[in-house]
Structure 1
């Protein structure tokens, strides 16, 4: 008679189905997740007369490579996000799809971009057609489901942890510099 322990079939862990953007190789930031972190206290200039204001980190995370891109926004508004998004796409390229939670500024940015696309002006129509050809789809997590954005939420936790270790309780100086390239 054989022992039950020797004949036992070991169980195998079944992996959950990941969405195609997470497992399909693509260029970085073609499929991105976005989230806000903050507020942080920023300062415009050093010394006396420097104004303090609230700033927010906007984290863009690539779903296929897990690379992150950080942008700074001075407010939690739709226009602040659109300015940061333009900086992001200027450096990393246009996204095919953006995933985010249902933050009011993110929903407002989506609405404002849709309104720009449907504007009646010929110039806006030409720009809208150009951007529609590159078309960025925006997908929102269901309300009250923050666990759907685990990829960017865990990166927010990591960025806050490292920023707290490096900066501590000091204020961050936001400097605007223009770099020139010497051609030789």
Structure 2
């Protein structure tokens, strides 16, 4: 049980909060792990046990499967909070160049958050950006805006009086 809780804690404390710097070459976000140990938390990827019935798994494999199930649900729900949904009557969220984003990818193991910086915008005929080119640690990729989550950035010019 302690192993399960520590691995879940690692998953929760690995989530990206905000960009670590404004440098366009920096692809690492600030995480709760930075406050705990000074750097991002990493987890060793393990075999995916979700398709195997529980009764065929050893205790260690059952623990890893529980972590994987919790990770899948939590990371989907957390990414949904980062994606603002607007109605057709409101303008969509604008995405700018050099903005750090989290890439939605269900195939990444627990505690891994693929990130990238917006390198190029590809607006449609109506002027709305629906596809962008991202700079990642592995090169450039093209993704739809619906599969990206913008990290919140503290605005330095305005302050809320509320």
TM-score, normalised with respect to structure 1: 0.23
Q: Please say which structure displays the higher CA radius of gyration.
A: 1
- Of Structure 1 and Structure 2, the greater helix share is in 1
